[in-house]
Structure 1
Amino acid sequence: MMSRPQKYIEGEALHSQHAKSNNALKLRVAVLVVCVLLVSALVVTYLLFELLKTRENLRNLELKQKTIKADVTERLPEIKPCSTVQPTCPEPEVKIITQPCNIIQPTTPQPTEITTITQSYTMIPTTTPQPSEITTNDPCYECEDGWKQHGENCYFFSTRKSSWDASRTVCRTQGGDLVKIDSSEEQSFLRIAIQQKIESYDDLFWIGLTDSAVEGRWLWVDGSPLNESLTFWFFHDEPNDLTEEDPDGQDCAKMGPMYWFAISCKVTHRSICEKPAVALCV
């Protein structure tokens, strides 16, 4: 039989062993809890990042949707059935008459076939537009290679980017100037042409409009004042001459696939040059 002191010593050793085991278990549990908390924090952070990214994508999609919707709404009035717009459906006789003006001389005797066609042409109602109004490319005018014809003018859409002043210098060396927009029809022509040439939404073009001489007095490059009833600014309060990007303000105009924007003349953009087409008819 063991003595009493020896049993007491063995009890203390056993109690100490259990205490150490409990401490080790508590340490493992604490480490496990910390790991779980760290993993949870990482998951929450990732989810928040994905949420912000999704919201940004939604905003971009909504902006694109509004832009496309506005473009479609603006172009709807231009889309009409061919049967309801007779002038846009020229008859074969009209196509024959649209030869260069100096081919058929009024004083020259005409063969029977031409006389018949001429008689048929005179029967067309007086409300029918002339060929120059039907087509963009008037056969009596011609443009150089690389220039796009519209009516009696030629337009060049640059691929290189430069400031407003530098772009105007390039246009003038080619015998023209930065484009002056005189009508809604010309604005529509340029808008459609730009939509075919841009590579991104921020691919914009300088036009010949500035108020650099007198703030608030917008003039075209030929010195004529801007017709306030014929403007296509994007924002209702534009131009507003903000100075955040340039202390000199926003003194030049650029054009996108739909609207105009006022911006610093020092920014680099592509440009649209305009000059008269070469007359072929006498």
Structure 2
Amino acid sequence: MKLLTVSALLCAVIALTTAARQHHVEKRAICCPHGWTKACESVNANLASVRNIRDYYFIRKVIYHATHANGETWIGGSDGQVERYWFWIDGTRFSYTRWCHTQPDNFLGNQNCMTMNWLGQDCWDDQHCGIRHPYVCVKNMLSFLG
């Protein structure tokens, strides 16, 4: 699995603004069925959480630089435990949202996973977890020290 890594200088700046996290984008699309977080966990990371507007636009910029597009991309939001109760897979508080108009809608049921850049738009959508999309992993930089 080939991950694109943000430059060291940029990572240092990100560490100051997003609590010491390193960001990765997977270029090829994967499927996110049962166990959908395992791709990120395999590199000791989580799907990205978005805690504020700075995180949101930074992740969007990383996606664009890695793929040269603003395509739909998995991030770490889910309501798979309790319908309509969205949480970040890394346990951080869900305080910032950027849902597209009429979303989340749980269309046809079981849309428990979150993408950003829905249909190229600057917003989020709930989707069935089995759809193929690129994904963004976030890794705590402190894990590189030990």
TM-score, normalised to structure 2, is 0.76
User: Which of the residues 54, 58, 65 maps onto 1:189?
Assistant: 58
List gaps (5 residues or longer) in structure 2: none
User: Which of the residues 217, 225, 232 maps onto 2:98?
Assistant: 232
Contact 2:74–2:133, Cα closer than 8 Å, also in 1:
yes
Question: Post-superposition shift, 1:261?
Answer: 1.4
Q: Tell me the equivalent position of 1:208.
A: 76
Residues 26-64 of structure 1 show CA distances to partners (whole Å, capped at 9, x for unaligned) of xxxxxxxxxxxxxxxxxxxxxxxxxxxxxxxxxxxxxxx
The CA distance in 2 between the partners of 1:198 and 1:234, in whole Å, is 22
3-state SS in 2 of match to 1:158: strand
Contact 1:167–1:271, Cα closer than 8 Å, also in 2:
no
User: Which of the residues 24, 48, 53 maps onto 1:179?
Assistant: 48
If asked which structure has higher relative contact order (CA below 8 Å, sep 6+), I would say 2
The CA distance in 2 between the partners of 1:206 and 1:272, in whole Å, is 6
Q: Percent identity?
A: 21
Aligned residues: 129
Pairwise CA RMSD of aligned residues?
A: 2.4
User: Which of the residues 128, 147, 153 maps onto 2:5?
Assistant: 147
Structure number having the greater helix percentage = 1
Mapping of 1:127-166 within 5 angstroms? 146-148=4-6, 149=11, 150-151=14-15, 152-165=20-33
| Bigger Cα Rg | 1
Structure number having the greater strand percentage = 2
3-state SS in 1 of match to 2:114: strand
List gaps (5 residues or longer) in structure 1: 1-144
Q: Are residues 1:267 and 2:131 paired?
A: yes
Q: Are residues 1:249 and 2:117 paired?
A: no
- With over 3 angstroms needed to count, the CA separation of the structure-2 counterparts of 1:225 and 1:279, relative to structure 1, is closer
Question: Post-superposition shift, 1:195?
Answer: 2.4
User: Greater shift after overlay, 160-169 or 261-270?
Assistant: 160-169
3-state SS in 2 of match to 1:164: coil
Contact 2:79–2:87, Cα closer than 8 Å, also in 1:
yes
